[in-house]
Amino acid sequence: MPLTAHSNLPSFSRLREEGLEVLSSDRAQHQDIRELHIGILNMMPDAALQSTERQFMRLVGSCNRIAQFHVHIFSFPEIPRDELAQKHIDQYYASFDQLKRDGLDALIISGANPVQSDITQEPYWEPLAKTVAWAKDNVCSVMCSCLATHAIVQQLWGLERYRLPAKRWGVYSNRVTNNRHPLTVNINTRFDAPHSHVYEVSSDQFKQAGLTVLAESEISNLHLGTSPDGFRFIFFQGHPEYDTISLLKEYKREVVRFINGVRNDYPDSPENYFNDAAIDLFKNYQQEVISASGNYENLRQFPEAQAIPLMDNTWTDTGKAIFNEWLGLVYQLTNQDRRKVFMEGIDASDPLDILKLKK
C-alpha cells in the first residue's frame, strides 16, 4: 500500500514518476487507514545515498498491507560527506533524536562502504551501537543489510566477519533452509539474490551463536537469517533492495577506477549477472582499455547505455515478498496490546510462535 510523502524528499517524486503509489500528506490525512512509521538508517556512501533511499522505499511501498507507510530517513553526522550529499541530508533527513521522541514501528539499516579492516574503527561503529541499543527496546523489528548485518552480529553476538580472498559480487542462487518461518513460508524454495561484499559471516557462525538461518547459497553462503527470537532482528547479507542496474553501476565504477589509476588490476565482472551478449560487450571494452596502454584520450565511454537493455532482474519479486511478510508481521505486532506482549518477550524458539500474536 502507499507511501506517504510527508516531506519534500525528492525520492518521493522520483518514485511517483516510476508509477509507485505515493500519497500527498493532504490526501493521507483524509483517509481512514492506519499509519506505519518505518525508519531507514542510510549509511551508504555519497554516490549511492539517494539510490539507496529509493531502493528501500520501493520495497516498503510494494507491500500489500492496508496501511500508509511513513518513511523517515536519517544518517550519522560521524560519516564524512561531500558538500552536495551533506546538503541533501541537512535538507531532507530526520535526526535520530527526533525519531527517538516520535517513535518508529520498524527500522531498516542499510549497508555501508567498508574502509577499515577492523569494523570497530569505522566512523559509524559507535553511533550504530547506540541506535541498535535503542531499537532493541523501542522498535518492533530491525532489518539489516550487508555490512549492517556484520556490525550488529558482532556488537550483539560477538561474531566477527572474515575477509574473502576476492570480492564476492554477482547474483547467486539461494535455497530456503527454513520454510516454516513467516518470512519464507510463501516464497520459492530457491531464488536469486545479489551480493556485493569483501567480508562475510557464515551460516555456520550464525548457527553456532544460536541465530536462525533462513536462506543460504552454496557459493555466497548466508543470505537471510534472524535473531534467536525469530523476528527482532532480520539479517540480509545480500541485497534484495538492489535495482536491476545496481551491480552494473558498481562494475562501471571499478572499471573507471582502473582507468584513472586508482586500482592496479582490471576488475572481474560480477558473477552470474551479465548475459552472453553483455559479457561480449564488456570483454571488447576491456580489450580496448588494455590496448590503449594508458593513452585514454580516444577511448570511448564505458558502454553502460548499450548494456542496460540486456539486463535481467531475477530477484526483486522475492525481495518484495519477504518485505511484504516482514511488514505484515510488524503491522500485526504494533497495535498497543500486541506490541506490549512483544516488547515483554515471547517464547519464539519456534518461529511460528510469532504468529500466535495474531490471535
Residues 74-131 have pLDDT tens digits of 999 999 999 999 999 999 999 999 999 999 999 999 999 999 999 999 999 999 999 9
DSSP assignment letter at 68: E
The tens digit of pLDDT for each residue in 9-53 reads 877 777 677 666 665 666 545 455 678 899 999 999 999 999 999
251 and 238 both lie in a single domain: no
231 and 350 both lie in a single domain: yes
215 and 268 both lie in a single domain: no
**Between the CA of residue 53 and those of 58, 89, 194, what are the distances in Å?**
9, 11, 18
| Residues in the chain, overall count | 359
The CATH number of residue 201's host domain is: 3.40.50.880
Cell readout for 29 is 490525512
Question: Amino acid identity of 98?
Answer: Q
273 and 350 both lie in a single domain: no
The tens digit of pLDDT for each residue in 321-343 reads 999 999 988 888 876 444 444 45
Angstrom distance (rounded) from CA 168 to CA 150? 15
Mean pLDDT across the stretch 232-239?
96
Sort strands 233-236 and 212-217 into parallel, antiparallel or unpaired: unpaired
| Structural domain span for residue 146 | 3-242+315-358
169 and 274 both lie in a single domain: no
**Between the CA of residue 82 and those of 46, 77, 260, 285, 339, what are the distances in Å?**
7, 12, 20, 31, 40
Q: Give yes or no for residue 200 having a pLDDT over 80.
A: yes
Measured from the Cβ of residue 49, the count of other Cβ atoms closer than 10 Å reads 23
272 and 227 both lie in a single domain: no
List the one residue out of 82, 59, 134, 63 whose CA is nearest residue 104.
134
pLDDT at residue 346 in the model: 44
20 and 108 both lie in a single domain: yes
Catalytic residue positions, numbered: 146, 239, 241
162 and 147 both lie in a single domain: yes
pTM, 2 dp: 0.86
268 and 290 both lie in a single domain: yes
- Give the chain's end-to-end CA distance (angstroms, integer): 23
Q: How high does pLDDT run on average in the chain?
A: 88
Question: Amino acid identity of 63?
Answer: C
95 and 204 both lie in a single domain: yes
CA 329 to the chain's CA centroid? 19
Angstrom distance (rounded) from CA 205 to CA 221? 11
165 and 84 both lie in a single domain: yes
Give the number of domains in the chain: 2
8 and 28 both lie in a single domain: yes
User: Which stretch of 50-64, 93-107, 223-237 has the lowest confidence by average pLDDT?
Assistant: 50-64
